[in-house]
Amino acid sequence: MNLKLRLTIMSFLQFFVWGAWLITIGTYCFNAKGWTGEQFGAIFSTLALASLFMPALTGIIADRWLNAEKLYGILQILYGVVLFFVPQVNDPNTLYYVIFLAMIFYMPTISLSNSISYNILKRNNFDVVKVFPPIRVWGTIGFIVAMWITNLSGSKANANQFIIAAFAAIALGIYSFTLPKCPPEKSISKNASILELLGLKAFKLFGNFKMALFFLFAMFLGAALQLTNMYGDSFLDDFRNVAAYADSFVVKYSTIIMSISQISETLFILTIPFFLKRFGIKKVMLFSMIAWVLRFGLFAYGNPSPELFWMIILSCIVYGMAFDFFNISGSLFVESTTDPSIRSSAQGLFMMMTNGIGAFLGSKVSGFVIDRYFTSAEGKDWHGIWLTFAIYALIVAVLFAVLFKHKHNPEEVKNFKH
């Protein structure tokens, strides 16, 4: 089998095993189990907690002691085994620890899968800039396919979604052992401090006001990133409690509708070079924040009726801009403004602020706010929930526009390629 196809299969399954439950776990916890927003927020925060430390630790292991493809396979198999326990769990506190353990095994595989692909492609003299993006886009397709399977198999409100992911993860883990070997390559000084090993030298960037401000806004946006993953499917599925919409297309195929967000993501990524060249990094990041306002605001006012269904669809479409424009332009900002000696760890710090601290705070705080202000005996006030999120995103956007000073420099993007 050709190398590119083998890596494409890995990329597809890498996100399939996550997409099978990530968007629908909210429906499972709220609608099937009847748990509170705070309980669900805690469960979802495990993704962020695992992101704070596991990628760094597994990176050290792959760099110094164990082949990357073997470590990747072991982690995927362990992730799959843990997911098999989810159907046995009937209380949120236990599920918190089960999902946390699953995330400890899964989250580092995202960066490991990229490292494996880069390693194999470079050793076989492929142009990574040209070859990798078409391979990686199949990861998003895998995520979408998993969402569709979960919805069409009737698994979005039961534990079967985790079983689907578990079988696929174990299959991926076994498959990874057939990939070309990726032995430890990086030369790390024996005298390197623990701070250097963990990439913590990048924390000195907080001493620069502009970079500190950027990372602060990365944290604020990170809090918004997971909100629709957490609550989107549950919101659409909850329309079953409104008599006029109980048998609507939105209720029956809520997960498929949510997958439009991921489809949009694959399309908007293609527009980024144009927007970066034309408007610059700051404006592109600002466009992302405005898109988040629209994402949440359209959900606040949309419903399955023929008159307002378009708002739900448009919300899913603008998600692509909201997600891609900040993540990629933010990564490019870090790339173009940090010293080469700490560039990799600076990128890790950017990811930690968004997917780690920001996502953790977003998960915990949103769960508390929903329970305290938007939950009653009649159910959840989704209009109020989404409107609050939209106001939050608008405040972040205004503060960013006023406080973050960055002049457009075409040199920053001249080497940006997809």
Q: And the tokens for 60?
A: 């050290």
Task: Give me the residue label for tokens 């699953």.
Answer: 102
Identify whether residues 119 and 153 lie together within a single domain. yes
Identify whether residues 164 and 263 lie together within a single domain. no
Are 11 and 166 a contacting pair, CB within 8 Å? Answer: no
List, in order, residues 6 or more apart from 400 with CB less than 8 Å away: 217, 285, 286, 289
Q: Could you tell me which of 17, 21, 18, 25 has the C-alpha nearest to residue 41?
A: 25
How much is the average pLDDT of 392-399?
A: 95
Identify whether residues 231 and 264 lie together within a single domain. yes
Distance CA 314, CA 309 (A): 9
Q: Could you tell me which of 124, 148, 182 has the C-alpha nearest to residue 252?
A: 148
Identify whether residues 221 and 316 lie together within a single domain. yes
Distance CA 399, CA 415 (A): 30
Identify whether residues 404 and 275 lie together within a single domain. yes
What are 149-175's pLDDT values in tens digits?
A: 998 998 888 889 999 999 999 999 999
Task: Identify the domain boundary among 137, 154, 184.
Answer: 184
Q: What DSSP state is assigned to residue 66? A: S
What are 173-220's pLDDT values in tens digits?
A: 999 999 988 777 655 555 556 555 555 566 777 788 888 898 899 899
Are 168 and 160 a contacting pair, CB within 8 Å? Answer: no
Structural domains counted in the chain: 2
Whether residue 2 is contained in a domain is answered as yes
Are 87 and 163 a contacting pair, CB within 8 Å? Answer: yes
Task: Check pLDDT > 90 for residue 48.
Answer: no
Task: Check pLDDT > 50 for residue 285.
Answer: yes
Query: Greater confidence, 60 or 369?
Result: 369
Report the CATH number that the domain containing residue 94 is assigned in CATH.
1.20.1250.20
Whether residue 235 is contained in a domain is answered as yes
Helix (H) or strand (E) segment spanning residue 79: helix 68-83
Task: Identify the domain boundary among 134, 158, 184.
Answer: 184
- SS3 state of residue 304: coil
Confidence of residue 249 (pLDDT cuts 50, 70, 90): very high
Task: Give me the residue label for tokens 């933010």.
Answer: 330
What are 374-386's pLDDT values in tens digits?
A: 988 888 899 999 9
Tell me the helices (H) and strands (E) count for the chain, helix number first.
Answer: 19, 2
Distance CA 146, CA 259 (A): 10
Task: Identify the domain boundary among 184, 215, 244.
Answer: 184
Identify whether residues 394 and 250 lie together within a single domain. yes
Identify whether residues 74 and 15 lie together within a single domain. yes
Q: What is the pLDDT of residue 389?
A: 95
List, in order, residues 6 or more apart from 75 with CB less than 8 Å away: 58, 105, 106, 108, 109, 112, 173
Q: What is the pLDDT of residue 87?
A: 92
The percentage of residues in the chain with a pLDDT greater than 90, rounded to a whole number, is 37
Q: Could you tell me which of 142, 135, 152 has the C-alpha nearest to residue 172?
A: 142
Whether residue 193 is contained in a domain is answered as no
Query: Which among 130-139, 177-186, 229-238 has the top mean pLDDT?
Result: 229-238
Whether residue 35 is contained in a domain is answered as yes
Q: How many CB atoms lie within 10 A of CB 276?
A: 22
Q: And the tokens for 321?
A: 């801009």
Identify whether residues 151 and 236 lie together within a single domain. no
Question: What Cα–Cα distance (Å) separates residue 193 from each residue in 56, 62, 185, 198, 351?
Answer: 14, 18, 19, 9, 22
Distance CA 11, CA 14 (A): 5
Whether residue 194 is contained in a domain is answered as no
Identify whether residues 132 and 267 lie together within a single domain. no
Distance CA 213, CA 209 (A): 6
Q: How many CB atoms lie within 10 A of CB 65?
A: 10
Whether residue 195 is contained in a domain is answered as no
Q: What is the pLDDT of residue 20?
A: 93
Q: What is the pLDDT of residue 110?
A: 82
Q: How many CB atoms lie within 10 A of CB 259?
A: 24
Query: Greater confidence, 109 or 304?
Result: 304
Q: What is the pLDDT of residue 269?
A: 78
Identify whether residues 118 and 237 lie together within a single domain. no
Confidence of residue 400 (pLDDT cuts 50, 70, 90): very high
Distance CA 295, CA 103 (A): 27
Identify whether residues 36 and 174 lie together within a single domain. yes
Distance CA 246, CA 252 (A): 9
What are 323-342's pLDDT values in tens digits?
A: 888 877 777 777 677 776 56
Are 312 and 339 a contacting pair, CB within 8 Å? Answer: no
Whether residue 395 is contained in a domain is answered as yes
Task: Check pLDDT > 50 for residue 418.
Answer: no
What are 76-114's pLDDT values in tens digits?
A: 999 999 999 999 998 999 999 999 999 999 988 887 887
Whether residue 190 is contained in a domain is answered as no
Identify whether residues 256 and 342 lie together within a single domain. yes
Distance CA 353, CA 366 (A): 17
pTM: 0.77
What are 30-40's pLDDT values in tens digits?
A: 877 888 888 88
Domain span at residue 98 reads 1-184
Are 99 and 185 a contacting pair, CB within 8 Å? Answer: no
Task: Check pLDDT > 60 for residue 357.
Answer: yes
